[in-house]
Copies of this chain bind each other. A is one copy, B any other.
């Protein structure tokens, strides 16, 4: 029935009604498009802030990317109506707006393009969307074929709605020179100073073709009439489109190509759809993307995507997992690291996470992230809530809310970067500060970051939470400046341990001692104030209420304060046992481990809930994959490799599992969450956010490379310490590392004494491959034993 995997990492889906939210996504540094299998689209481009070029049918709010995007009849999309001009019969491709039962439907989101193959009424339609590496423009290729035994007269009608652009100057016309429908508008403004900014915005949206349309339409109301999008008046009764410009109306890019096809005949069309500042820009874009250059543009885009293919290629007993790790995972990591989620003020935490992932794709980008971040650090060591990437950028949305955890992530990115690059010299790079032109080394910046975190603690030694920290930031725990974070108690310890480990050979001994002293202190503090019998509490409010405790009716247990306790080496064996039991019983679900449980169903004002994660919002009690990834990390950390793998694996919806299809999620990316509240709302549990913006990918990739396959860089070379799931017998991995290529074959051995590592036929005396030479090729055999 459904053929998930094909060569070339393309998935296929045979009916949009089975998984109506299934979607692929494409991006370059200028734009991003999330293309739903039915034809609906969510796209934005940078100009300089994220903007849309195809709009909702009303004045939509400017917001961060929203999860669980609702689709509706007039949602922006890219649609092709096909009409039999003799019978008047009409259907639309890929599926919406008519949503006819098609004879055949294939949706194939690929790595660098998205394809549909539609057959209906003896007509075949092939549609491909790709991008160029450099332009904010969608490149569409459409082929219509007559598979009937008789000749057919048909109209192909691309309908690209542009929506409510603005209440200023909205209109559209056909430009003969460009062979394009051009929709114009002025971004609304009221303040004079905004006019100067708005002048540079690309207020035009256009659809150009390489074939002259027989007719065109520019107005949505005229096209739709009273018939509705499922039966547009403009296409009724064998009518032709109006060939009229439109003024003050909701514009749409609509063309009509009249075809007269003999049996077997095909017609091909190329379209370009996107935003532009002026006619000149459209002309230049068309020049680069149509006629002679069109194959070039697509090939360039494929190589751009290929450039982010990562450092790992695996072959294991789990083919779905292979496919995901080899193709989709590094692609998701690349998207984040190369575009910074198309924001100009990424949250510091996100920016560092995304940069960390790039260590395994293109570590030069990681270095840039580290240096950019630290140069925006304050002289007292505090990191800002967001990193500004352009001169005009400002801190927006959640970045205006004080969070206390940003420096934690510095040690993690630095660790990944040095693991991969061995670039210890970065610690000596000299950078200025946000509020001082003094130059200090990265080492000093890092020490200051750690010192600042160590200092931001109360008299008990517990770190303040202010209005939030990571992943389940609660805005009412500490706004008065007294509330503390259980998680940050552990995260601070973890960050310090990581920094001590990394900088041991280069840092000042007294400094290291002081950090170690804090680490030692934090274990005791956590036990005294946070350990509640079976797990660690989440925090203590301004008013002294400890929460995330067994007595709580909602939010009784939080995942992060267990995961990070493990990572910070806090619990003893007995504690570990109890914590694992609690997680299994209260947080684990078929869709992964939940962020907290029971989910909050109402505001508890003495335990402030999150700004963006109120009861019922996407992240409350959800399987929040970024947190789940840290849970997996903690399970590797305590050698629970099956628990770890199962956690990772659940992030990819299981194709054999009925619920997978129900939840409408193909594993093209890890969404930021699956709905949780599993014991409260079982019907909606597992529903994907359909949002691929998440730090999860970076962590997932790092865990696969460094923990699952245990191929981690160190100063001397590569350490090999795999933690494969016990059900696997063997696996093969190709690992690129510091310019060398290692072919690694894993073989489970039943006898611990047989465990050994061979490199090019020579058995190593340790698990370290030293002196790896760039350009060389190594054949490695890892005979591993489960449990040793």
Contacts and interface: CB of A to CB of B under 8 A. Distances in A.
Interface of A: 17, 20, 56-63, 66-68, 70, 72-75, 97, 99, 164, 167-171, 185-186, 188-192, 195, 221, 226-231, 247-248, 250, 397-398, 400-401, 467, 475-476, 479, 603, 608, 611-612, 614-618, 675, 677, 681, 683-684, 687
Contacts of A57: 70, 72, 75
B192 A401 contact: yes
Contacts of A248: 68, 616, 618, 675, 684, 687
Interface centre among A616, A617, A681, A684 (most CB of B within 10 A): A616
How many copies the complex holds: the figure is 2
Given A60-B60, A167-B617, A611 B66 contact: no
Contact of A70 (B72, B164, B230): B164
A186 to B, nearest CB: 5
A270 to B, nearest CB: 30
Given A99-B228, A170-B616, A401 B56 contact: no
Contacts of A608: 192
Contacts of A67: 167
A245 to B, nearest CB: 9
Given A475-B195, A616-B186, A59 B59 contact: no
Contacts of A195: 475-476
Nearest to A221: B70
Given A20-B226, A684-B247, A401 B74 contact: no
A365 B337 CA distance: 62
B17 A192 contact: no
Contacts of A397: 190
A311 B229 CA distance: 49
A175 to B, nearest CB: 16
B58 A70 contact: yes
Contacts of A611: 189-192
A705 to B, nearest CB: 34
Nearest to A614: B168
Contact of A66 (B167, B171, B475): B167
Contacts of A479: 192
B615 A681 contact: no
Contacts of A675: 248
Contacts of A186: 603, 614-617
Interface centre among A59, A66, A603 (most CB of B within 10 A): A59
A168 B608 CA distance: 15
Contacts of A63: 59
A672 to B, nearest CB: 13
Interface centre among A73, A190, A230, A467 (most CB of B within 10 A): A190
Contact of A616 (B168, B616, B681): B168
A401 B70 contact: no
A167 B397 CA distance: 14
13 contacts: A59-B63, A60-B61, A73-B228, A97-B228, A170-B616, A190-B398, A190-B611, A191-B400, A191-B611, A195-B475, A247-B684, A248-B675, A248-B684
A226 B99 contact: yes
A56 B617 CA distance: 19
Contact of A59 (B20, B66, B616): B66
B247 A616 contact: yes
A70 B248 CA distance: 11
B681 A190 contact: no
Nearest to A193: B479
A44 to B, nearest CB: 14
A677 B171 CA distance: 14
Q: Is the interface of A mostly helix, strand, loop or mixed?
A: loop
A611 B189 CA distance: 6
A419 B99 CA distance: 65
Contacts of A61: 59-62
Contacts of A226: 17, 20, 99
A61 B57 CA distance: 12
A615 to B, nearest CB: 5
A730 to B, nearest CB: 42
Contact of A614 (B60, B99, B164, B169): B169
A250 B56 CA distance: 16
Contacts of A192: 401, 467, 475-476, 479, 608, 611
A680 to B, nearest CB: 9
A247 B62 CA distance: 24
Considering the complex of A and B, which 8 residue pairs feature the smallest CB-CB distances, nearest first? A169-B616, A73-B73, A168-B614, A72-B74, A57-B72, A59-B61, A61-B61, A190-B611
A171 B167 CA distance: 32
A58 B60 contact: yes
A401 B192 CA distance: 8
Nearest to A677: B247
A230 B224 CA distance: 14
Contacts of A72: 57-58, 73-74
Contacts of A230: 228, 230-231
Contacts of A99: 226-228
A169 B615 contact: yes
Contacts of A189: 611
Interface centre among A63, A195, A476 (most CB of B within 10 A): A195
A98 B326 CA distance: 48
A73 B687 contact: no
A234 to B, nearest CB: 15
A95 to B, nearest CB: 9
A248 B686 CA distance: 12
Given A70-B250, A186-B603, A230-B231, 16 more contacts: A58-B58, A59-B60, A67-B167, A97-B228, A99-B226, A99-B228, A167-B617, A168-B615, A169-B614, A188-B612, A190-B401, A192-B479, A192-B611, A195-B476, A247-B681, A248-B616
A475 B186 CA distance: 15
A683 B242 CA distance: 14
A671 to B, nearest CB: 14
Nearest to A684: B247
Given A61-B61, A681-B247, A171 B616 contact: yes
A93 to B, nearest CB: 15
A62 B59 CA distance: 8
Contact of A618 (B59, B66, B97, B167): B167
A612 B169 contact: no
Contacts of A400: 190-191
Nearest to A613: B168
A649 to B, nearest CB: 25
A247 B678 CA distance: 12
Contacts of A168: 614-617
A66 B397 CA distance: 26
A467 B189 CA distance: 13
A191 B74 contact: no
A276 B703 CA distance: 49
A165 to B, nearest CB: 11
Nearest to A56: B58
Contacts of A68: 248
Contacts of A169: 614-617
A514 B358 CA distance: 76
Nearest to A185: B616
